[in-house]
Amino acid sequence: MDINEIKEYLPHRYPFLLVDRVQELDLENKRIRAYKNVSVNEPFFNGHFPQHPIMPGVLIIEAMAQAAGLLGFKMMGVKPADGTLYYFVGSDKLRFRQPVVPGDQLQLEASYVSDRRGIWKFACRATVDGKEACSAEIICAERKI
């Protein structure tokens, strides 16, 4: 999926659209692999931290949640235009392992774990150069709008 198709499935826009491309979407095994190119021009680097810029952890979690949301939308065969949204509602087993800095390509992986009564759970990882930067179980709520 290129950025134009991603924008059909995610309601986010700059500066909060945090998935640049989907490299692999495997609906049979219910997993997705995507990436975010981390540029020094990102607005959050002006204040986090100017002399030692690192990507805020909450935005890494959001990027993983967006990848998981793409997987959920594709699994259900719906788009936001159809009246469905996914809200990020929680995380379990969250761990940060290394900082993400300008120039990194943040690889995002999400695998479906379960869904019950509109609450979806995904196992997610964010890596840079094959090294894990963050991992979590991401919980999303499906809502009709």
pLDDT tens per residue across span 3-12: 999 999 999 9
Question: Model-level pTM greater than 0.95?
Answer: yes
Other residues' Cβ atoms within 10 Å of the Cβ of residue 97: 13
Q: Which of 12, 30, 48, 79 is catalytic?
A: 48
**15 has pLDDT over 90:** yes
On average, the pLDDT of the chain sits at 97
Do residues 70 and 19 make contact, with C-beta atoms less than 8 angstroms apart? yes
Tokens of 103: 């120039």
Q: Is 52 labeled as catalytic in the residue annotation?
A: no
pLDDT beyond 90 at 35: yes
Res. 2 pLDDT band, cuts 50 70 90: very high
Is the pLDDT at 50 greater than 90? The verdict is no
pLDDT, one tens digit per residue, over 91-111 is 999 999 999 999 999 999 999
**For range 105-123, the mean pLDDT:** 97
CA 131 distance to own-chain centroid: 17
> What is the bridge-based pairing of β-strands 119-128 and 105-116?
antiparallel
Per-residue pLDDT band for 30 (boundaries 50, 70, 90) equals very high
Residue 113, Cβ neighbours under 10 Å: how many?
A: 15
Q: Given this model, what pLDDT does residue 100 score?
A: 98
For the domain covering 3-144, report its CATH number: 3.10.129.10
